[in-house]
Chain A
């Protein structure tokens, strides 16, 4: 029965994707994108990936829509109708999809326990996590401990993307200074209902983000989800109280410290392992008890991830919003 629900949601997903492509109004396309993200999260959850669904929820619901709308505000929200290579694109896409569909016939069926993907390292991770790491959430254990190098790399990709956005959007303004009324910078302050509810909810969102951050060893969660959630809470504050008020709460210097501090914390935990005679990112040597060492290492590493993700996403948001007021 649940398989059928999944099939139904996948059909809705495909319809949404095609609608996004056909939509000429970019604002409407962005709205459809956020429906797409909701459907993706539900499908991930049905396919047993609670952690991934939580990440998609945290990123897709708040941050992605806000960033896309910010970019639309700086450019244009209508797409020109251009007839260009359309027929050829259809032919290429159709031909390639037939080719890949032909290839999928050899794939193991959905949920097949004998599929090669489930034979190799996955049983080892599931069996060794309780013994070596001692936390229930295997996803967090692999993310932070077994495949810590991977996550370090991903974190630096995020770091680099944040630095890139800063380089691109915070140069000195080429155009004349603000020709907008100053009321624009005040956000939604004169809308009473969002203001009251928003002010009430911001602490809860940040609190929930902290819960997701530190409960990530036991339930779905971890640094990536928590970073996106906390960032969503702070974006909410910036929306209702205005850009400048939000920058008073979390100033730019603190944001830069968060971005680099998180990445450096991750590196420092790795180097601490080296100094104590283990390998890089080997947490077992951090304390005398290897399992306790793993606990400490995962906690610190996830904290580093959370700090950097919060910092980068929030910096990107501020970069777009500040550009908007200037242009």
Chain B
């Protein structure tokens, strides 16, 4: 039964990768990264059980905790970028 769930998650990963490759905007790619991160957490937790070593859930826990830092960094990057554009537009 774990196999069915694993296959479902792997197919979703492939779909997310398609979205990342197609774009068209960069935000679609960030969305794909975020989806991929969630799916990785699920995949790692299921594979830990498939292997019969549930003590390796630490990995999925690490991803669950820090995976959204990348998206927050994107928000900060875009915010700084637009602020810079605006201040440059005001200068001349």
Contacts and interface: CB of A to CB of B under 8 A. Distances in A.
B65 A204 contact: yes
B62 A54 contact: yes
Contacts of A61: 37, 62-63, 66-67, 69-70
Do most interface residues of chain A lie in helix, strand or loop, or is the interface mixed? helix
A45 interface: yes
A27 B74 CA distance: 9
B87 A50 contact: no
A256 interface: no
Interface string B1-44: 00100100010011001001101001001101100110010011
Interface residues of A, number: 61
B20 A31 contact: yes
Contacts of A179: 87, 91
Contacts of B65: 201, 204-205, 208, 229
A46 B56 CA distance: 12
B69 A62 contact: yes
Contacts of A307: none
Nearest to B53: A50
A8 B10 contact: yes
B33 A220 contact: no
Contacts of A229: 62, 65-66
A57 B59 contact: yes
Given A42-B43, A50-B56, A184 B73 contact: no
Contact of B30 (A31, A188, A194): A31
Given A45-B44, A219-B58, A236 B36 contact: no
Given A35-B36, A208-B61, A69 B21 contact: no
Contacts of A58: 62, 66
15 contacts: A5-B47, A53-B59, A61-B63, A61-B66, A62-B69, A62-B70, A69-B73, A73-B81, A180-B84, A180-B87, A188-B79, A191-B75, A194-B72, A219-B55, A229-B62
Interface string A220-233: 11000100010011
B17 A15 contact: yes
Contacts of A236: 66, 69, 72
Given A15-B21, A45-B47, A62-B66, A239 B80 contact: no
Contacts of B83: 180-181, 183-184
